[in-house]
Amino acid sequence: MSIESGPPAHPSPGGIIDGALVVKSLAGDRKAFDELVLRHQKQAVSVAHSYLSNSDDAREVVQEAFIKVYLNLATLQKPEAFLSFLLRATSNLALNFRRGRRLRKNPGLDDSVTTGDDNPRDGGIQSDHTIHSTRPGRALEDKELGERRRAAMALLPEKQRLAIELFAVQGLPQKEVAEALDCSVEAVKWYVFQGRKRLKELLKDVL
């Protein structure tokens, strides 16, 4: 199977367990969905925190994500892909939450380009511009660069963005990232490679 061909033919052991729990949840077993929450809450919070850099906000977003996923569980065509379904919802809700938070702090600011927060997470792309400085001019440059990076991350295809967040930012093993994204380890490597390449293209004028 080539790396571009998508998910593997056979789900991972974790995906099989998730699939069985999803089926039970759809049949009305509330304890089964509680088990899904217990299995994946920590990972979902990590993804949300990578966007928001605030534990309380991350937990709030994840709670909303689980509610959204539960209400839309019947639309999940592949029950074994529950974790990918959850992380996709978490990622999208976290982005929306961050944009809303930015607008509340700066009502007159156009958020179509900047989608940042106070603690940048850059998906593993590093440069000399990130060195902290006490000079006000340097601090402003660092903040603007962080906002550019977060805006660039938001432009990446979903699986590239999630692969970079889980592997490069959260430090999860490639095998766990592959399980979360319902793909092969080779695909994870490809997503991270392509994502980083795209980020460098988007930020070539500042890196």
Q: Which string of DSSP letters, residue by residue, matches 55-99?
A: HHHHHHHHHHHHHHHHHTGGG-S-GGGHHHHHHHHHHHHHHHHHH
In this prediction, residue 133 carries a pLDDT of: 41
Dist CA 44 CA 63 (whole Å): 10
Percent of the chain with pLDDT over 90: 32
Confidence of residue 189 (pLDDT cuts 50, 70, 90): very high
Winning range, highest mean pLDDT, from 27-36, 118-127, 196-205: 27-36
For residue 140, pLDDT over 70 is answered with no
Which pLDDT tens digit goes with each residue over 83-112?
Answer: 889 998 998 899 889 887 665 554 443 333
**Per-domain boundaries in the chain:** 10-108, 120-207
- CATH architecture assigned to 10-108: Orthogonal Bundle (1.10)
Instruction: Specify the CATH number for 120-207; select among 1.10.8.60, 1.10.10.10, 1.25.40.10, 3.40.50.170.
Output: 1.10.10.10
Output the CA angle 67-80-175, nearest 5 degrees. 105
* Among candidate residues 45, 66, 68, 67, the one with its CA nearest the CA of residue 57: 45
According to the model, what pLDDT value does residue 75 have? Answer: 94
Q: What pLDDT score was predicted for residue 120?
A: 34
pTM: 0.60
